[in-house]
Amino acid sequence: MQCFGLCKRNIEQSYKEVNKETSNIIITRHDIERILLFMSKEDTVDRIYINFCNPWPKPKHRKKRLTHTKQLMLYKEFLKQDGEIYFKTDDDGLFEDSLKYFEEAGFKVIAKTYDLQSQSIFENNIETEHEKMYKEEGKKIKALIAKK
């Protein structure tokens, strides 16, 4: 639970730096497969950020991925029409598989890069701690924007 406090403070600081209120953000911890128990079509969301999630590399675990087709179909229930998903990862396999998952779920990938550091596709990219760490290690960050 300590990470939620850090997350909250980092978001508040980032918004404070640009003189904005944080009234449009919810930080929550739930099993993703149960998301429709607390989110519905009435709870509309403009954008979902999936940053450096567990890649679940073993084939038997891939359905647990936050970008798996099964999960993306759940997000469509509350993501607004033309809503977007911003996705970042350092994992090549997860990124390649996710491109297929987005297509299978009926999303349109409107931007993608295999090196976010040299080709930013995000307006006002907020660099995460993982992103900084991987960048220092020389790893390329893969990213995409998908539209419902």
Q: Model confidence over 71-109: pLDDT tens digits?
A: 999 999 989 999 999 999 999 999 999 999 999 999 999
What CATH class does 31-147 carry?
alpha beta
Angle at 61 between CA 55 and CA 62, to 5 degrees: 55
User: If DSSP codes are grouped into helix, strand and coil, which group holds residue 7?
Assistant: helix
Quick one: pLDDT at residue 2?
Answer: 57
User: Which parts of the chain sit beneath pLDDT 70?
Assistant: 1-3
> Which residues 6+ apart lie within 8 Å of 56 measured at CB?
62, 64, 65, 94
Residue 130 DSSP one-character state: H
User: What ranges do the domains of the chain cover?
Assistant: 1-29, 31-147
Give dist(CA 129, CA 52) in Å, integer.
10
